Chains A and B, each alone.
Chain A
Amino acid sequence: MPQLSKTLVIDTATDYVFLSLVVEGSEIGYKYQNDLHNHAVTVMPMLDELLKKAQITLKDVNEIIVGIGPGSYTGVRIGVTIAKMIGYLNNISVKTVSTLALLASSSSAAKTMAMIDARRGNAFVACYQQEKGIMKETVADTLTNIEQFKQTLTIDTEIIRVGKPNVEKIMQSNLMKPVKNIHELVPNYLQVTEAERNKGKI
């Protein structure tokens, strides 16, 4: 019997922990839970539960899709570290996807803007178009002043701040990028650290 494709999807860059198991293109189980910024504690027990319920082990997973941000720095690092270690230990394919794309996939509107708050009036945003269930990116991930950015949108754009990702839709899109060397996988923070910015100014 040929081996079934078993994909684990992980995203921890928002207030929610999102884990999903996809077997042969169909989501067979998921966790989508606001854990009040306690990702470091909750992700692995949730993963354990998800796998046990599906009666598979971590070693049976043969592909990972990981949300690499933008979003919470601490949050995204947890998911990316977990994906990186699973990918490395089991030598399996890892693909990255924008956390904003995962967010936008929760909607079926034709035009969407996904946003994650980045404080001081700023947000991480990206825009997508959907036609016959196929998602395409129209504005790539960016960090911007949210009020100004909203003025560039057409009136029929749906703004999405929260929503359970539709992984089947993501897997049919070309929004994923394969990781060539697992040791080089890092989050997409979208901005350098404050220390690096300040150093540039001096």
Chain B
Amino acid sequence: MYVMGVESSCDETSVAIVKDGKTVLSNIVLSQIDIHKEYGGVVPEIASREHVKGISLVFDQAIIKAGVKYEDIDLVAVTEGPGLIGSLLIGVAAAKVVAMNYNIPIIGVHHITGHIYANNIEHELQFPCLALVVSGGHTELILMNGHFQFSKIGETADDAVGEAYDKVARVLNLPYPGGPMVDKLAQQGKDIYHFPRPMIDSKDYQFSFSGLKSHVINLHHNLCQRNETFEIADFCASFQEAVTDVLVRKTKAAATEYQVKQIIVAGGVAANKGLRSKINHEITEIPVCFPSMGYCTDNAAMIAVAGFFKYQTLKAADDYTINGNSRLEL
């Protein structure tokens, strides 16, 4: 079964063709990162304009690279949310045209299920499975007892992990996108500040990163005011150690409680080297999977994979009224 995936929820226009929910035949990603860099973050109106500009060419390249014809496609899967509404609408509109033009069923996919299913490209999911979803908009622990059975067992009460990274990076004057930069510098620094590990001892799987973020920002402010010298790398390392300690401790506890067969890490922050090494180091009794770097960031291959399993599970598609939904719930 050939599934065409379409993703445009933020600042990447992407179309992919994936066979049987596993084999990626093409995965074209047109990134706008260089455009938004100048503004220190994604500008929604510019993102929407760029999606319209690039959309048809990305479809064309995905088809050519995959070496298939539109007539061969069995299902169109498109991100319906969450994300930037103006951006989502472009992918949804384009996907609907493909579906109508070739009379192919269309299915809407939740962006986070895409990140989760990105793992299936390289490691088949084993149930029960625990997913740690970490990105600019999400910090969640999700338990799966089978395909497309999601139960959220914990989430952040305030900032998402990636959001905290970006805000800390901004205060430290690191170039956009800040998260990967903090990770890079953290490798060269030491945890000398011992920032608080928020909620690390709570008996649930809830997270909170806003207090930690403020703590880091305040200390930076005080040091600057007192004209004290400090290493940015140490700041990054101290922040990263605190964040990853919490993430790993809670993931491990949840995996033990629910006796899962597999842990998967999903979302943009899954690319974080500090998180990868700490999880691999501290959780040895349960297999832990990460998507390879190219499938951590937003891409349409993961949407095609999720769409494939959603369609297999629900045995139903959507119709042409499918809409973008910036606050779609899992």
Contacts and interface: CB of A to CB of B under 8 A. Distances in A.
Interface of A: 40-45, 47-48, 58-59, 73-74, 77-78, 80-82, 84-90, 182-187, 189, 193-196, 199
B89 A48 contact: no
A127 B90 CA distance: 31
Contacts of B70: 89
Given A48-B320, A89-B97, 5 more contacts: A58-B97, A58-B101, A81-B90, A81-B94, A183-B60
Contacts of B90: 77, 81
B101 A90 contact: yes
Interface of B: 38-39, 43, 45-46, 48-49, 52-53, 55-57, 59-60, 70, 85-86, 89-90, 92-94, 96-98, 100-101, 319-321, 323-324
Contacts of B92: 40
A199 B97 contact: no
A81 B56 CA distance: 8
Given A40-B92, A88-B59, A187 B97 contact: no
B93 A78 contact: yes
A81 B45 contact: no
Contacts, number: 99
Contacts of B53: 184, 186
A84 B56 contact: yes
A48 B94 contact: no
B324 A40 contact: yes
Nearest to B319: A45
A199 to B, nearest CB: 7
25 contacts: A41-B321, A42-B321, A43-B93, A47-B100, A58-B100, A73-B45, A73-B86, A74-B86, A77-B52, A77-B90, A78-B93, A81-B52, A81-B55, A81-B97, A82-B97, A85-B94, A85-B97, A85-B98, A89-B97, A182-B56, A183-B57, A187-B52, A193-B46, A193-B49, A199-B39
Best-buried of B93, B94, B321 by chain A (most CB within 10 Å):
B93
B46 A77 contact: no
B52 A84 contact: yes
Given A59-B101, A77-B89, A186-B52, A85 B59 contact: yes
B24 to A, nearest CB: 22
Contacts of A195: 39, 43, 45-46
Nearest to B325: A40
Given A193-B45, A193-B46, A44 B96 contact: yes
Contact of A84 (B45, B48, B55, B324): B55
Task: List the 6 closest A-B pairs by CB distance, nearest first.
Answer: A85-B97, A44-B320, A88-B56, A195-B43, A81-B93, A193-B45
A48 B39 contact: no
B48 A73 contact: yes
A86 B48 CA distance: 19
